[in-house]
């Protein structure tokens, strides 16, 4: 015995409905129609830096600050650090074009004591 799907014109109406699909499509269309709000970006120089600037003179080296992220492209340390970063791209294997198959990314942060 073989089972075959009914042609689209003969299939029951409930077979065409995907739960939440209509709402998702409407929300997606609305999101594309709404412009993004303007971003407030402060590009002012710090006052202490402005006071040290002399026209035509090279700027002194800025004081060293501790970086927010660990160095990403250096040789591995012999002693493990306080935390470890790993990650991967989440892709859809059914799509042939690699760039279009990317659905997201996963970042893993492991903190050590």
Give the tens place of pLDDT for each residue, 59-113. Answer: 666 667 777 787 778 777 677 778 888 999 999 988 888 888 999 999 999 988 7
Q: Rounded to whole angstroms, how far apart are CA atoms 48 and 43?
A: 15
Tokens of 77: 């340390």
Predicted TM-score (pTM) of the model is 0.28
Strand ranges, E, within the chain: 83-91, 102-111
The H helix count followed by the E strand count for the chain is 4, 2
Give the tens place of pLDDT for each residue, 13-61. Answer: 555 556 667 777 777 777 676 677 888 888 888 888 778 777 777 766 6
Q: Rounded to whole angstroms, how far apart are CA atoms 58 and 46?
A: 17
What is the predicted pLDDT for the residue at 43?
A: 82
């Amino acid at each position: 015995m073989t089972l075959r799907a009914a042609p689209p014109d003969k299939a029951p109406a409930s077979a065409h409905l995907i739960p939440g699909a209509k709402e998702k499509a409407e929300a997606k269309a609305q999101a594309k129609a709404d412009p993004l709000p303007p971003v407030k970006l402060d590009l002012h120089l710090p006052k202490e830096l402005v006071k040290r600037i002399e026209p035509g003179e090279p700027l002194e080296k800025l004081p060293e600050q501790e970086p927010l992220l660990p160095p990403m492209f250096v040789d591995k340390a012999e002693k493990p650090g306080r935390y470890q970063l790993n990650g991967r791209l989440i892709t859809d294997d059914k799509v042939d074009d690699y760039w279009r198959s990317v659905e997201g990314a996963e970042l893993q942060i492991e903190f050590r004591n």
